[in-house]
């Protein structure tokens, strides 16, 4: 199934239908079809729940699955003014989807994935992003080149000894870099980080989950600017 | 395997070993055993990687798995002064583990699970909590009874129309209630919430992941008090 991706479940399929994404086909139960009058030019195939279960990647499939077209990726290296989040080799699909959802909630201008990050069209990312994937601009880039091509944008990243986000004055525009789940920010990228920040720690956990850290950092950033 | 739970992977097993939890047995490869001299009175069985794979619940097992004893649960309804997080029917093991890790990072005084929440000794919770499970006090309680028995503690909960956490004055002590992933806070509990708060939304996502929301709320709370 080249150039296509799966969207599973009622809520996310409805978000897909109201997005600009091109839909290839929809597989749904008779009940779902009768309850959801779809006025789009799209092939709808009636299937049984047992058949849906065979297509589904989730353990608990719902009544509908759509096949959509992966849009042509824009290779724009030049970013417009705004607030971005960059992900340095994020491997966990749940984290990637959660971060896209955070970017949507806080109205960020885009999510930039390093080329070795998880594929956003992985069904687990689609599921964790809960429809935000259809709204948030995202890019796959070589992050070193991206930072070099956007030298006017400050880059922010977390380090144990970084300045507390509770006292930090954030820049209005910039790119917040989130490191890999196990290894943090790559050595090769750390030279590009002008703002070394940290989330204060009061207890003993070694680290926070990448999605949780992204949420706390972006909340503080949006609060100020 | 009644009264026992599995701990998988090098880092989490090391955290288990340095905790007060009673360990039943350890299954490890010859390599792990030679690299980790364990000075504890615990049965260590040498197994092959293929054997470990059969015991493991993770797709990528590491070199070691421990079987530990589930501690006797304390039924203390009366909480000591401090900051707590309560979870109203959290079903997703990843969310439960992530929230225990947040509670550990921010040094909260405990996590209170509603009785119909996921089991913290589920291997996926143990894995997501990354060792924090061995440090953070947690309880299973009927939340209505818990709030009634601790009437001197203010209860905080998020609602769409709640006061922004960016301007809110948080109480020093209290219980922050996080609702179910799909349905939010139960009707029967909402009457007990004195502080109705919200995370400001700048974009379009319908909601945030429960773990991310917990992280942002607790960060704001700890920042103040």
Q: What is the pLDDT of residues B171-211, one digit of tens each?
A: 999 999 999 988 899 999 999 999 999 999 999 999 999 99
Residue of A nearest to B106 (CA): A202
**How many CB contacts within 8 angstroms connect chain A with chain B?**
118
Query: Does A208 sit within 8 Å of B103, measured CB to CB?
Result: no
B61, pLDDT greater than 70: no
At A57 the pLDDT is 85
Q: What integer pLDDT is reported at residue B59 of this predicted model?
A: 72
pLDDT, tens only, B98-126? 999 999 999 999 999 999 999 999 999 99
Question: Of all residues in chain B, what percent carry a pLDDT higher than 70?
Answer: 96
State the pTM of this model: 0.92
B199: nearest CB among A101, A131, A219:
A219
Query: Is residue A55 domain-resident?
Result: yes
Domain match, A91 and A149 both: yes
Count how many domains chain B has: 2
Decide if A191 is inside a domain: yes
Instruction: Give a yes or no: residue B119 inside a domain.
Output: yes
Low-confidence ranges of chain A (pLDDT < 50): none
Please report residues of B whose CB lies closer than 8 A to that of A131.
Answer: 205-206
Residue of A185, A191, A213 lying closest to A89 (CA atoms): A185
Q: What proportion of chain B, given as a percentage, has pLDDT over 90?
A: 80
Q: What is the pLDDT of residues B120-153, one digit of tens each?
A: 999 999 999 999 999 999 999 999 999 999 988 9
pLDDT of residue B208: 96
Domain holding A87: CATH number?
Answer: 3.40.1280.10
Band (B57; pLDDT cuts 50, 70, 90): confident
Asked if residue B76 has pLDDT above 70, the reply is no
Residues B106 and B201 grouped into a single domain? yes
Examine the domain organization and report whether B151 and B91 are in the same domain.
yes
Whether residues B183 and B101 share a domain: the answer is yes
Res A169: pLDDT: 96
Under an 8 A CB cutoff, do B209 and A128 touch? yes
Q: Which of B12, B216, B225 to mutate to test the interface with A (most CBs of A within 10 A)?
A: B216
The CATH number given to whatever domain includes residue A57 is 3.30.1330.30
Residues of A in contact with B131 (CB under 8 A): 205-206
Domain enclosing residue B186, as ranges: 83-224
* CB contact at 8 A, A88 and A180: yes
Sequence-distant contacts of B199-202: CB under 8 A, at least 24 apart: B199/A105, B199/A219, B199/B158, B199/B165, B200/A222, B200/A223, B200/B164, B200/B165, B200/B166, B201/A105, B201/A106, B202/A105, B202/A106, B202/A107, B202/A222
Given this model, what pLDDT does residue A43 score? 87
What is the rounded CA–CA span in Å between residue A196 and residue A190? 9
Per-residue pLDDT, B24: 92
């Amino acid at each position: 199934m080249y150039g296509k991706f799966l969207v599973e479940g009622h809520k996310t399929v409805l978000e897909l239908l109201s997005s600009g994404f091109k839909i290839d086909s929809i597989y749904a139960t008779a009940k779902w079809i009768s309850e959801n009058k779809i006025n789009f030019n799209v092939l709808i195939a009636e299937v049984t729940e047992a058949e849906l279960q065979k297509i589904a990647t989730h353990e608990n499939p719902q009544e509908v699955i759509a096949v959509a077209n992966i849009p042509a990726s824009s290779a724009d290296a030049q970013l417009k003014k705004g607030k971005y989040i960059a992900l340095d080799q994020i491997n966990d699909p749940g984290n990637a989807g959660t971060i896209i959802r955070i970017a949507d909630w806080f109205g960020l201008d885009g999510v930039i994935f390093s080329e070795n990050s998880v594929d956003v069209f992985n069904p687990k990312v689609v599921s964790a992003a809960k429809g935000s994937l259809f709204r948030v601009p995202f890019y796959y880039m070589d992050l070193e080149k991206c930072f070099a091509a956007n030298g006017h944008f400050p880059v922010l990243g977390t380090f144990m000894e970084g300045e507390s986000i509770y006292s930090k004055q954030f820049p209005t525009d910039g790119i917040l870099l989130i490191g890999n789940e196990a290894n943090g920010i790559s050595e090769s990228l750390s030279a590009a980080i002008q703002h070394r920040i940290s989330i204060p720690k009061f207890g003993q956990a070694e680290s926070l989950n990448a999605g949780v850290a992204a949420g706390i950092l972006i909340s503080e950033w949006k609060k100020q600017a």
